[in-house]
Amino acid sequence: MELTRKRSFTDFDRPAHDFRREFKGSVLEKKFAKKQSNKQNVLRLVLDWVLSRGAQQLQKKKQQQSTSTSPFDSIPNEILYEILNFVNDQSSILSCRAVNRRFHALVDRGYHSDKMPLQLSRLIISGLPRGRGIEMRWIAYETQQTKTISIAQAAIRKPQNFQFNFKRFVIHRLILKDMNLTDDFVCFLRLQLSSADLSQLSQLTLSKVDFLNANSLTLHCLLAVVGKNLENFEVHDCYNMRPDSITDAHLIQLNAARIRRISIDGVKLCRMGNSLRLDTLFTILYFNFYISELEMSPSSILHP
Of 57, 92, 109, the position where a domain reaches its end is 109
Same domain, 182 and 218: yes
Between CA 177 and CA 197 the distance in angstroms is: 22
**SS3 at position 245:** coil
pLDDT of amino acid 302: 39
Please indicate, yes or no, if residue 279 is contained in any of the structural domains.
Answer: yes
Task: Dump pLDDT digits (tens) for 226-256.
Answer: 998 999 999 999 999 888 888 888 989 999 8
Between CA 224 and CA 70 the distance in angstroms is: 54
Residues of the chain under the 50 pLDDT cut? 112, 272-304
Task: Dump pLDDT digits (tens) for 77-101.
Answer: 778 877 877 777 777 777 887 888 8
Please indicate, yes or no, if residue 130 is contained in any of the structural domains.
Answer: yes
Of 109, 127, 157, the position where a domain reaches its end is 109
CA distances from 154 to 88, 132, 149, 150, 184 (A): 39, 9, 15, 12, 10
Task: Dump pLDDT digits (tens) for 11-39.
Answer: 555 555 555 666 566 666 666 665 555 66
Between CA 172 and CA 201 the distance in angstroms is: 4
Same domain, 249 and 212: yes
Same domain, 203 and 105: no
Same domain, 259 and 198: yes
Same domain, 292 and 158: yes
Same domain, 77 and 170: no
Same domain, 156 and 214: yes
pLDDT of amino acid 300: 40
Please indicate, yes or no, if residue 159 is contained in any of the structural domains.
Answer: yes
**Domain with 86 in it:** 73-109
Domain count, the chain: 2
Of 109, 134, 166, the position where a domain reaches its end is 109
Tell me the one-letter amino acid at 31. K
Please indicate, yes or no, if residue 204 is contained in any of the structural domains.
Answer: yes
pLDDT of amino acid 193: 92
Between CA 258 and CA 229 the distance in angstroms is: 6
